[in-house]
Amino acid sequence: MKISARNIIKGKIKEVKMGVVNAEILVEIPGGAEMVSIITKESADSLGLVSGKEVYTIIKASNIMIGVD
């Protein structure tokens, strides 16, 4: 797999919540942190996403915002 994104983190699916249109995918990454991705149900089905499956989280953003209290 070759992609242009530079932020790629391997993880394992912890939970899949299927909705009518979208799916919420909870991924545990090294160190125990968790990331959530909302994708279409069709994409989740075609990728065969289920709990325990190893996946890559791929973050591609044109800008990153920073906030302070």
Q: What is the pLDDT of residue 67?
A: 80
- Reduced to 3 states (helix: H, G, I; strand: E, B; else coil), residue 17 is strand
pTM listed for this prediction:
0.84
Q: Is 44 exposed, middle or buried (0-12, 13-18, 19+ CB in 10 A)?
A: buried
pLDDT in tens, 3-37: 888 888 999 999 999 999 999 999 999 999 999 99
Per-residue pLDDT at 64 exceeds 80: no
In order of start, what are the domains of the chain with their CATH numbers?
7-59 (2.40.50.100)
